[in-house]
Every structure is written in C-alpha cells, then in structure tokens.
Chains A and B, each alone.
Chain A
Amino acid sequence: MITILNREIPNQVDELSIEQFEAITDINNDPNLDPIDKHLKVFAYLGIPESEFWDYDVADFIDIVKNFNTMEQKDFPVVEELELEGYLYKAQMRLTVRDTKMIEKIALHKEKGYISEMLAVMFKREDLTPTEHYADAHIKQKSRLIRKINASIALPYLMFIAEKIAKQVKNAPTQSVEPSQS
C-alpha cells in the first residue's frame, strides 16, 4: 500500500483484485490517454479524485507516480487450485491447443476483462466435460468469480502464457501452413 494525499491505496499486485488489476491495465492500454492522464485515471479508480491533483506541482506528481509504480520484487507461488462458490477448479502449467485457441480468441476479441477470462480457460472443474468447460457461458460465469480473487494468482499464469506464445512465434511462424492464392 502507498499513501497519497493522505489516502492509502494499493500499488502492489498482491494488494489488488484481478478486477482492479484489469481496470488499471485497461487504463494503461488506452492509446487516447497520455501518461499523466493515465495515472490520474488510475488514481481516480483507486479512490483519489482527479480534482485533488489539479493544483499539484507536476514535478511532485511525477515523484508520486514513481513511488506508486515501484514494485516489490516478489516471486508469487503458483496456485493450482481455486475454490469458487463451492466448486473446486484446478489448473496446470500446461496449454493444450484448445486452451491456446480460446486464449487467442479472448486476446483478439476482448478489449476488457481478458485476464480473468484467460484464467477461466486455465482453471478447470474436473467434473465437467471439455464441451461444458469451453462453453462461452461457463467461461464468462467463471471469469466473473475469478475477478474477485487476488491478482497475484494470475501473474504466474500470465507469464507462462506469454512465454509459451513467444516461444511458439519464435519456433514456428504462425499460419505457416497457409497456401498462397495468387
């Protein structure tokens, strides 16, 4: 936690819920905002209204931003089981082709809330069939529950997905099997 203008707000990953983490990520990814606007919006989201910074010196604001963005170096443990509303969901550090296709679809089409949906693909209930697990409605419902959990649970999985996809891109150029139609 960090205190800004006498308000204590979370600034470490393990102090945020996935919902908050997603909201902050969305603000940071907004191409229409400059860095100052982004931070004003992030602070507003976390409880400090923009108006409180209006009379603030820019140099002081930059210091606040620097302090806010200082992350403690931590290794977050891999959580392989989640209990959500009485159901046990399990995940492994493994991606099947179907998982990757779903994650790719989410990344391509979902502008907001993609972290919770990616985790919803990774965490599976053992009593469900693959068809039930990958059903859009099930993934959406599960992602709603996942949004409430701590963001630190998401990090190892996001790192794993990013590394896996980066490796795939490096090793096998995507769409390598596409025939030319010229």
Chain B
Amino acid sequence: MHLPNQWSQVSLEQYIEFSKIDKSQGAYYYNSEALSILLDEPIEIIEDMDVDEMSELLKANQWCASEPSKRYKHEVLGMKFKPLNKLTLFEYIDLDYYFTDNYITNLDKVCAICYRQSKVNEWGDEVLEPYEFDCTIRAERFLDLPITDVYGIVHEFLKYRDTFLKNYENLFTGEVDENLSEEERRELDPEEVKEIEQEQKLAKWSWEQTIYGLTNGDITKSEKVGALPLIYVFNILSMKKELDI
C-alpha cells in the first residue's frame, strides 16, 4: 500500500472524493473513507484492518490536516491559465455557478474553464481557444493532476470575485436568503412574503435577466453577448445605470 506523504502526491480526483465524505457519519467513518481514498484501496481493505493499525496510518497522515499550497501552475497539460481579468461574461457566469455550488467538488470543471489551449495567430500573438467546449467533458482531463497544481485557483478566483463584486456593487443587489420556512411565513404578513418571493425569483433569474436586457430581448444574440469580456459588459451596465439609459 502506498501512502502519500504530501499533498503533491494526491490527485485532484482524490481531493474531490475526499471533500465528498459525509462528516456527519462520525470520525471513524470519515477517517476510514479518507484512508481508502489516499491509499487507493477499496474500503473493505481498510475496514478489515485492526483499529490500532488504522490509528498508526492516521498518525503518519498528519500532513493532511493542513491545506494544500495556495499556489497553482500557469500551464498544465499543455494548456494555459486564462488571466481572470480577461474572462468573458459566460465564463464568469459558469465559474460563479460552480463556486457557489461547491468549489471543491467542481474544481475539475473550474480548471476546464480556466486552462485553455492556445495558438499563435497570423500576427504572431498568442490567442486562447474560445469557450466553445463542454467544460464537464473537458474536466475529466484534469482529474489526474496533483491537487497542488491547481488548488490555488480557488483562492485566486475568490479573491478576484470579491474585488469584482466590490467594483460593481451598485449593479448587484444584496444576498437573497434561502426559501422561507413555514414558520417564517407565518410570522410575516402576506405582503412581505410576496415581496421576498419576488426578490428570490429575480435573484434566481438574475444572469438570464442581465443577458435578456443586454440583447434587448433578442435571445439569438445571447451567445455574442456571452462571449464579450466581462469587464466590458459590466462597464456598459454601469454606464447604462448611471446615465439611466
């Protein structure tokens, strides 16, 4: 059995599996599942071990308690990291969705959006491939990479998103709460409930609404708008809001 002794020996796929372990099942459940992933052995092998033997293996795995390095490689699998300030609207929307959903379990898809094939164009400039592929299929290519090659993207994007949201905070409404519980509904008057539900509906469709507005309702132009640089789109939206046009 080969036991990794640092994060660089753990693949992205293993790290994602790791994060999916149900913590509510208890510490022995968690640790046995984690060892099964790290050792790449079926859970039955771990379960047949004496509990003292597992304890010894865990002692050798103390390094796992720390987070992987926050660095990332700018080139993996022959693909280049797309600078975040060059993201298009659709790229950002997808990244935002994957991060909001779960940025660890979606890290392979995040990589597929962030790393791109490149070529030198007729002018001798390097251009990155457009976002015209299915990132869920491309994601598989990244699963065998060491987690330390890509983990830093998480921090990089979170940092970028924070700055972005701050810069354009006038365009974003506040966080919308989860659906109202029955108890909350009883406590509020019907008008307030209606208002909150309307806000939730708007939040649910906020990106679609933005695109719908930018295309003046002509959804056949959505792809073109989605391929525009994110910063450009938001500058236009800011301008429209400021000039009220």
Contact = CB atoms under 8 A, between A and B. Distances in A.
Interface residues of A, number: 26
B26 A101 contact: yes
Interface stretch (A13-21, A50-58, A166-174): A166-174
Interface range, B side: 35 or more
Interface in A94-132: 94-101, 104-105, 108
A176 B64 CA distance: 7
Contact of A182 (B55, B64, B67): B67
A101 B29 contact: yes
A137 interface: no
Contacts of A108: 25-26
A177 interface: yes
B31 A176 contact: yes
B63 to A, nearest CB: 9
Contacts of B104: 181
A173 B15 CA distance: 20
A117 to B, nearest CB: 15
B35 A177 contact: yes
Contacts, number: 90
A172 B48 contact: no
Interface string B44-77: 0011111110110011011011111000000000
B29 A178 contact: no
A164 B55 CA distance: 11
Contacts of A181: 19, 103-104
Contacts of B68: 179
A173 to B, nearest CB: 8
Contacts of A6: none
Interface string A133-172: 0000000000000000000000000000000100110011
A180 interface: yes
A175 B30 contact: yes
User: Interface residues of B: mostly helix, strand, loop or mixed?
Assistant: helix
Contacts of A175: 23, 27, 30-31
Contacts of B46: 97
B15 A176 contact: no
B51 A168 contact: yes
B87 interface: no
A168 B62 CA distance: 14
B102 to A, nearest CB: 9
Contact of A177 (B34, B49, B51, B52): B34
B26 A172 contact: no
Contact of B58 (A95, A98, A177, A180): A177
B38 A97 contact: no
A180 B51 contact: no
B29 A104 contact: yes
Interface of A: 94-101, 104-105, 108, 164, 167-168, 171-182
12 contacts: A95-B51, A96-B51, A97-B28, A97-B32, A98-B48, A99-B51, A100-B51, A171-B55, A172-B31, A172-B59, A177-B38, A179-B18
Given A97-B47, A101-B28, A177-B61, 10 more contacts: A97-B49, A99-B51, A101-B29, A104-B29, A168-B51, A172-B58, A172-B59, A176-B65, A177-B35, A178-B64
Nearest 5 CB-CB pairings of A with B: A174-B27, A98-B47, A177-B64, A172-B58, A104-B26
